[in-house]
Structure 1
C-alpha cells in the first residue's frame, strides 16, 4: 500500500505533468470507485482546470478551479499511470481523466477510491488524521507527548493514522531499524531518549524515501526512473532471511496486529 513517501512522490511528479491543465474528458468504468452519480461526477469535473495536487497522509487531493476536490486513496493494490493510450498498462482502468491526448489512469481501485467533495467536505473527511510528520511545526516535544498517551506495541502505534499521518508497514519497519528499537517493544517501556531517537529517525527516513521515489516500483509515466528507488536501498522491509547491513545478523519477519513486521533481532533492542 502506498504510504507518505509514495504519495509525496506521486504528488510532485503529477504536479509537473498536469497542474494548470484542463480536464478534457472523464471516463468512469467502475461506479463503486467514485461516491456520486457518474453523470454528476462528469459534469462537475469536465472542462475544469486542475489547479494543483496536494497530499494529506496517504491521500492525494486534486484541487479543481470550481472549488471541488478529487480525494484519492489508493489503498491496497491501487496505482496510477499517466500517458497516451499507446503507453497505458494492459490492466483494467477504473477511472480515466484526460488532458488532451494524455490521460491519468486510475488502476486497481477495488479497495481504493476517487471521491468528489467540496473543499470543506474533503477537509472534514481528513480531520481525524494525525499531524504530518515532516511539517516544520511537528516537534520532538509533540511527538513525545503523543507517545506518552499511547499503549501497546510500537509498531501498532506508528501505523495508527490518528497518531501520525502517512506511516504504514514499510516505513514503520525502516524507522524502527534506523532508531535501533524493536517494533515489538511495548510503547510504555520506551524511554525519553528512545522517543527522541524515534523522532529523529522519522525525520531522516521519510525524506530519504521521498528522495528515492518510495518503495513501490511501478513507474507513473514512461521514462519515470525515480519511482520505486527506495526499494533498492531499504534496510529491513521485505528482507526476511537476508543479512542485516548494520551487524550481519539475519533479518526476521513477525506478524504484529495482522501486519508483517521486519527487523533485526540483534541490533534492534
Structure 2
C-alpha cells in the first residue's frame, strides 16, 4: 500500500503535469470508486480546473476552482498513470480524468477511492489524522505525547494514522531498523534513548525514500525511472532471509497483529 513517500512522489509529479490545468473530460468505470452518483461526479469535474494538489497522510487532494475537492486514497493495489490510451497499462481503469491530450488513469481502485467532497467534508474526513512527520510542530515532545499511554508493539503506534500520519508497514520497519529498535518492542518498555532514536529516524528515512521515489515501482508515466527507486535500498522490509546491510545477519520476519514485520535480530536488540 502506498505510504507517505509514495504519495509525496505522486503529488510532485502530478503538480508538474496538472496544476492549473482544466479537466476536459472524465470517465468512471466503477461506481463504487466514487462517492456520489456517476452523473453528478462527471458534472462536477468536467470543465473544472485543478488549482493545486496537496498530500495529507496517505491521501492526495485535488483542489478544484469550483471549491470542491477530489480526495484520493489508493489503498492496497491502487496506482496512477499519466499518458494516453496508446501507452497506458493494460489494466482496468476505474476512473479516468482527461486534461486535453493527456489522461490521468486511476488503476486498481478496488479498495481505493476518488471522492468528491466539499471543504467541510474534507476537513471532517481528516479530523482524526495525527500530525504530519514533517510538520515543524511535530517535535520530540509531540512524539512523546503520541507514545504516552500506548500499549502493544511500537510498530503499531508508528502505523496508527491517528498517532502519526502517513507511515505504514514498510517505513515503520525501516524507521525501527535505523533507530536500532526492534519493532516488536512494547511501547512501555522503551527507554528514553530508544524513544529519542525512533524520533530521530523518522524524517531521515522518509526524506531518503522520497528522494529515491518510494518503494512501489509501478511507473507513473512512460520513461519513468525514478518511481520505486527506494525498492533497491530497503534496509529490512520484505528482505526475509537476506543479509542485513549493516551486519550481514539474515533478516527475520514476524507478524504483529497480522502485519508482516521485518527486522535484524542482531542490530535491533
**TM bucket normalised to smaller:** over 0.9
- State the Cα RMSD in Å: 0.7
Residues 238-257 of structure 1 aligned to structure 2 (within 5 Å)? 238-257=238-257
Corresponding residue number in structure 2 for 1:206: 206
> SS at the partner of 1:60?
strand
Distance 2:224 2:52 in 1: 20
In structure 1, the gaps of 5 or more residues are: none
Corresponding residue number in structure 2 for 1:49: 49
Deviation by residue 1:91-127 (Cα, 9 ceiling, x = unmatched): 0010000001110000000000000001121111011
Residues 99-110 of structure 1 aligned to structure 2 (within 5 Å)? 99-110=99-110
| 1:155 to partner: Cα distance | 0.9
| 1:157 to partner: Cα distance | 1.0
TM-score, normalised by the number of residues in structure 2: 0.99
Indicate conservation of the 8 Å contact 1:34/1:113, yes or no.
Answer: yes
Residues 222-261 of structure 1 aligned to structure 2 (within 5 Å)? 222-261=222-261
Deviation by residue 1:140-162 (Cα, 9 ceiling, x = unmatched): 11101211231111111111100
Corresponding residue number in structure 2 for 1:64: 64
> SS at the partner of 2:121?
helix
The answer on 1:195 being equivalent to 2:195 is yes
Deviation by residue 1:165-214 (Cα, 9 ceiling, x = unmatched): 00000000000000000000000001111111101100110011000000
Residues 59-138 of structure 1 aligned to structure 2 (within 5 Å)? 59-138=59-138
> SS at the partner of 1:6?
helix
Distance 1:174 1:210 in 2: 13
Deviation by residue 1:206-258 (Cα, 9 ceiling, x = unmatched): 01100000000011111211100001011001100000011111101001110
Distance 1:19 1:86 in 2: 23
Indicate conservation of the 8 Å contact 1:36/1:116, yes or no.
Answer: yes
| 1:24 to partner: Cα distance | 0.3
Corresponding residue number in structure 1 for 2:180: 180
Distance 2:105 2:43 in 1: 19
Structure 1 residue runs of 4 or more that deviate by more than 6 Å after TM superposition: none
Distance 1:166 1:236 in 2: 19
